Amino acid sequence: MRYKKTIATCSIATIISLVYQFYPNEIRTSKAGLEIIGNAEGCYRDPYKCPADVLTVGIGSTEAGGEPIVRNKTYTDKEIAERWVKDIKSAERCVNRWANGNNLPQGAFDAATSITFNVGCDRVKYSTLFKYARQGNINAMCNQFPRWVYANGKKLKGLEIRREKEKSLCLN
């Protein structure tokens, strides 16, 4: 008989409070933006392989940011918050550079950061979504989110839910 390993989870609300406690001025993304990202990604103390077969820990944190993941380690809330801030900052840099982020209203910035966190800068930097952001056409930008619901050629319900939340925040 095979047993499946249980992966320890953590609280998104706790991690967000630690972000504000220890890194209050390091990111621009609002609590509403962090909640969309956190609730969509989930929070896991133990490293695991995500659906894209990438080693992941915490709130969607991979080794792409240059920070190695220790496979058999159980991460603390503080370590998860620290990794997440680094990952959010990376997504924000992309939004600022490729989507004129410094001039986006807060909701649009948060939504752009969320989708960038999810799909990566290389996938969105030349997108129509970012093109509209650069042009300052926020309404057109926000209406692009529902197009981003496919992974590996399949439409995913989880992405549909996330994109509707991002669109709503963007239009707010």
Structure tokens at 49: 């392989």
Instruction: Specify whether 50 is catalytic.
Output: yes
Nearest alpha-carbon partner for 92 in 65, 68, 131, 69: 65
How is the chain split among helix, strand and coil, in percent rounded to 5? Answer: 60, 10, 35
The active-site residue out of 10, 26, 35, 41 is 41
Structure tokens at 17: 């409070």
Alpha-carbon span 76 to 4, nearest angstrom: 22
The active-site residue out of 26, 50, 63, 67 is 50
Q: Let me know if 147 is exposed, middle or buried by CB neighbors in 10 A (0-12, 13-18, 19+).
A: exposed
CA dihedral 130, 151, 35, 121 (to 10 degrees): -40
Instruction: Specify whether 35 is catalytic.
Output: no
Instruction: Supply the Cα-derived Rg of the chain in whole angstroms.
Output: 16
Q: Which residues are part of the catalytic machinery?
A: 41, 50
